[in-house]
Structure 1
Amino acid sequence: MTLKDLAHQLGMSRTTVSRALNGYPEVSERTRARVIAAAASVGYRPNPVARHLATGRAHAIGIIYPLIAHDPGDPYFLEVVSGMNMALEHADMDLIIVSDSSTDELRPYERMSEKRRVDGMVVARTKLNDPRLQYLANVRIPFVAYGRSLMPGPYAWVDFDTEAGVRQAVERLVSLGHRRIALLNGPSELHFVAQARKGHVAAMAAAGLPVDAQYMVEGPLNRGGGYEAMTHLLSCNPRPTAVIVDNPACGAGAVRALVDARVRVGSEMSIIINDGLLPDTLMGYKFTALQSAVPHEVGATIIELMLAVLNGEPPRRLQVLWRPRLEIGNSDGPCIS
């Protein structure tokens, strides 16, 4: 059935039916409900190209994500993306995932905005000073940041209180008798990494413990980076008795390094991982973890905020901060050395 046929069946003009289906505010709710019900009863769906031309909207949200062939990525983040996709399906919108550029981080955002392929962007892995957020703000492309930055002015974001979470982790390990506590994290330019360092330093100071520079290690945000960083920590003399990892991608690599080095997790080396690891990642361990929210819930919340941004809600009202809670597993225990 065409739009013309549907309009004829309803006894309305094609313009009225089109505006009702595309959410124009000048159409009454009663008329809109009648049109939507009739369209559903005959299985009518608007032509996406025609809808784009009629409304000027792409009915899609974009996200740029690093797709690396030799690394399986961050399962937690992929679950977040799955939650975003499910939420967009309910809004009859699509999620477009584009690989980032290894040479020019802004270029993918420029392509998406110049071609108007999306109505808004989700910016993940935010940096302390993030040119992507500033670019989108300058060209007036609606966006939601998955994480915060130091960019002035209000903008919509979803984030976790990593600083408070790492403080909890240090306090937990200190209570178990640990004194040499390392922090393994991602690149220092990322906002959540800076928050993790801040929380670690503050908690160690509160416990009267020194922060040893050799125990503050960063690596690429992937399993390889976590493996190399943990290998470095194991080579320290004396080596730490406990490690906090501020992201699950590095966490998986760090645990692999411990297993390969035949270091008993939970006894010889305690480890706490921010966001944890999926249960089937490494059998036999239930990792002590800092958990903020179910990944699908995070994804759904991001899209909820995005839809609010698109509807004109003030960005200062669209900011969500989750405080992590410590979930005890079997990957940490009393210090034995």
Structure 2
Amino acid sequence: MKIVIGSRRSKLALTQTGLIADELRALGHDIEVVEIVTEGDTNRAPLTQLGGTGVFATAIRNALRNNEIDLTVHSLKDLPTAPAPGLTIAAIPPREDARDALIARDGLTLGELSPGAVVGGSPRRAAQLAALGLGLVTREVRGNIDRRIDYVRHGELDGIVLARAGLSRVGRLDEITETIDPLQMLPAPGQGALALEIRADDTALYDVVRGLDDADTRAAVTAERAVLSRLEAGCSAPLGALAEISEDLDGSLEISLRAFVGRTDGTFDLRRSQTGPFDHPEQLGHDVAELLLADGALEAFTSDGQAPEPTPGGLLPRDADPVTVQHPQRRGA
């Protein structure tokens, strides 16, 4: 089968696309990769100003709907959580390490950086760094991996926090000065996972791509993103979540889910966790979100501690370009 894959032009996006292209070629398919420029690639404004996650997906999704490409490989954490009309996530392959990682000057760890040191990272990372009480100053930065690391190499930042998975995929693990324990910093929902998106009516390609799906990864990220969905928060929100699959005492699979919301200035932070059955990851995510809401989670999204006015269809403004993650099936089913 001839399969045209659309990809963003960044080194990381092309690397991730290349990994999937190689797997499909190994199955005997003819693969072509087409580069697509998105607003998130050309506009250097903070994501909070651009409107969140959709800036990375819209152009590629339009190419899918217009039959210009057949498949695209997203970083799952960059995708909104509600359905994208006419499209479906056909597979979520096995996840890379979901943790965040620090690259700091002089090989320093978070605990070794002096109070007042400037560390780059997203609002989610800034909120959790503030909650650690280390006296670090955070700055939101954007750009590809090379550009963000260069801020440290050129002395503009004392450190930068990035997804370890991305560093692994582009071969820069040796520059990490500390892989951050999730007890200190929970990753973005879906971090480290890829999402393979196709047109919903392309049943032939669905049958091909579905073989790359990993049930454990799909269950974990479904739970994480259900927290995000229930709180109606985008990728620019100070929210982290991590789900892990394990076996209980009778051998049944279960999901342990932890989540965090906080303010970037450190004046509010909240963590909650819960365990639930493997077959109901979305319900588990909603349950953890309800725990957060009951204990004041909406304060994290305001500057004055007052909950925002409800918006039509949700608690916070909804991103205009959403997608859903389908329910997983139990391994071996």
TM-score range, shorter chain: 0.3 to 0.5
Larger Rg: 1
More strand per residue: 1 or 2?
A: 2
Structure number with greater CO (CA < 8 Å, separation at least 6) is: 2
Calculate the TM-score normalised by the size of structure 2. Answer: 0.37
More helix per residue: 1 or 2?
A: 1
